[in-house]
Amino acid sequence: MNLELPKNNVVFGNMGEVKNGILYIYRLNCFYDLMYEIAYTVYGTDKCWYCGKPCRRGKGRPNDSRAKITLDHLIPTSIGGPTIVDNLRPACHACNDQQKGDLTSEQFFEILSLQKQLNECSDQADRNSLSKKIAMRRLEMRKENTDKRRGLIPYLPEEWTSKKVSGDLLGTISPDIQLGNQFKKQDEFYRKYKRIKFPLIISDNGYLLAGYNSVAISKKYRIPWQLEKIVLENVVVYLRRGTPY
C-alpha cells in the first residue's frame, strides 16, 4: 500500500522527509514519531475527527478552552491496529480515550449517530427503545472485535496487507527484545487469542519499521505463516552515514 503523505515536500527534522511523494526515513528508531507528525500534517491539529470540537496541540494559553489534541487509531491497537498515518486521526481526549475506547472508528460513528438520535428524541417510549438498541449494538460490537482478535474475521482492510514476499528483513532486532513489557503483553495476547497481534510494517526497500515483537513471538511459537505484512511502497529507509543503525 501507499502510505498517506502530505502533498508538499516536508522535512521532519533529522527523522526523515517527504520529497516528491516518497517518505525517506533517516533513523529507524523514530518511525512512530514520524507517523504522528505526518498524521498531524495531513489531518491538522485544530479539530476532533469525531465530534468536531476545536482542539489545540501543546499546552495553549491559560484560558484556552480548546481540548488537547490526541491521535486516535481508527482500528484500535487493542485489536492490532497499526500505527501508520492511514490508521491515525486527530481526536479530542474525550472521544479518543473515554468514549471510543476499543471500538473501531466505524463502530464509534454508528454509536455517535444513535446517541444523537437519542438526545434529540423527546418521546419516552422511543427513547427507551433507542437506549436498548445502543446497549445491544455495543454488545454486538464487542463480540465482533473479539472475533477480530481471534482472527476469525479480518482485522485489517484487505488493501493494506501485502502478499508480496519480501526477502530478508533488514534492520536490527535488539537481542533483549523478549524481556520488554510490550513483548509480554503481546505474548499474553497470543496465548489468549491465538493470533499475532500486530502486522509487520516494512519499507519498500525491505526494512522492518514496526513489528519486532511480532517477529519475536512468531519465532517463540514457530508460526511465521501467521504474520500479516504491510509493505509501504512509498517509504524508503535511507540511513545516513554516521548514524548508529
Binding site for Zn ion (CB under 5 A): 48, 50-51, 53, 92, 95
CA–CA distance, 227 with 54 (Å, rounded to integer): 39
Pick the closer one to Zn ion by CB: 51 or 227. 51
What is the closest distance, in whole angstroms, from the C-beta atom of residue 94 to Zn ion in the complex?
6
Pick the closer one to Zn ion by CB: 69 or 217. 69
What is the closest distance, in whole angstroms, from the C-beta atom of residue 99 to Zn ion in the complex?
8
What is the closest distance, in whole angstroms, from the C-beta atom of residue 112 to Zn ion in the complex?
9
What is the closest distance, in whole angstroms, from the C-beta atom of residue 96 to Zn ion in the complex?
7
Characterise 58 by phi-psi region: left (phi > 0), alpha (psi -120 to 50), beta (else). Answer: left
User: Position of cell 482478535?
Assistant: 149
CB 189 within 8 A of CB 81: no
Pick the closer one to Zn ion by CB: 48 or 75. 48
Pick the closer one to Zn ion by CB: 70 or 117. 70
Kind and range of the H or E element at 106?
helix 105-120
Pick the closer one to Zn ion by CB: 89 or 229. 89
Coil, strand, or helix at residue 111? helix
CB 5 within 8 A of CB 42: yes
CA–CA distance, 231 with 245 (Å, rounded to integer): 21
Q: Which of 126, 128, 73, 131 is nearest to 102 (CA)?
A: 73
Pick the closer one to Zn ion by CB: 50 or 155. 50
What is the closest distance, in whole angstroms, from the C-beta atom of residue 141 to Zn ion in the complex?
19
Q: Which of 71, 148, 66 is nearest to 107 (CA)?
A: 148
